[in-house]
Structure 1
Amino acid sequence: MPITKQYLKSKPECKITFCVPAKDASKVEVAGDFNDWNSEALKKYKNGNFKAQLNLPVDHKYEFKYIIDGKWENEVEADGYQWNDFAAAENSVLEV
């Protein structure tokens, strides 16, 4: 589940591309503190990958998770993980 980062020269933001390989899934979403944990759908492509792009301010750490067909999943290639007492589980961490 790779994430790519493209830092913008014109403003202090980073274009984040979330890519989730999930051929058998019907719906993949991403939720995190960058969108107040309101899930955002990723677009499904013919190759079975789901993708979405967000521009996020730099010099921040963001916690997030994927929701794959209703099941919360972490990013295996996250920059780190942070324990969340509310969910009693770890969240993926994205550093930009």
Structure 2
Amino acid sequence: MSLIKQFLKSRPEVKVTFVVTREAAGDAHQVFLVGEFNQWQPHAMRRLKSGEFKTTLNLPTDEQAQYQFCYQLIDEAGTERYDNDWEADAYVPCPYGRDNSVVQVQP
């Protein structure tokens, strides 16, 4: 799992590439990114030939210092499992008894 950030000079945004490694995805058939930045609505991640899942989003840097997120992994049987980014900037407790990953969007 990794976060790759590129701060844009022309706009108050950071381009964040979210990558779920093959090891982290396990036997997931689909992976969705959910978080504050998309009102916790599933955003499908693209599966690569390597078995990784990847997506890139532009997140505003002038609204808040960080955003919470996690991944929804779905196996072939349709079973859902939520997981955190193993290399997130931080973690915060959520009301469902687990932690959410944090991506910091200010340099």
**1:56 matched to which residue of 2?**
59
**1:75 matched to which residue of 2?**
85
**1:95 matched to which residue of 2?**
104
Superposition TM-score, scaled by structure 1 size:
0.93
1:15-66 per-position Cα deviation (integer Å, ceiling 9, x unaligned): 0000111363210011001100001000001010100010001152100000
Q: Is the 8 A contact 1:61 1:95 kept in 2?
A: yes
Paired letter, 1:43: R
2:28 match: secondary structure = coil
Paired letter, 1:64: F
| 1:36 maps to which of 31, 35, 39 | 39
> Aligned residues: percent identity?
43
Q: What are structure 2's unaligned runs of at least 5 residues?
A: 75-79
Q: How many residues align?
A: 95
Q: Is the 8 A contact 1:20 1:49 kept in 2?
A: yes
Q: Which moved more, 1:40-49 or 1:17-26?
A: 17-26
1:10 and 2:10 correspond: yes
Q: Is the 8 A contact 1:23 1:47 kept in 2?
A: no
How large is the Cα RMSD of the aligned pairs? 1.1
Q: Is the 8 A contact 1:81 1:93 kept in 2?
A: yes
1:37 match: secondary structure = coil
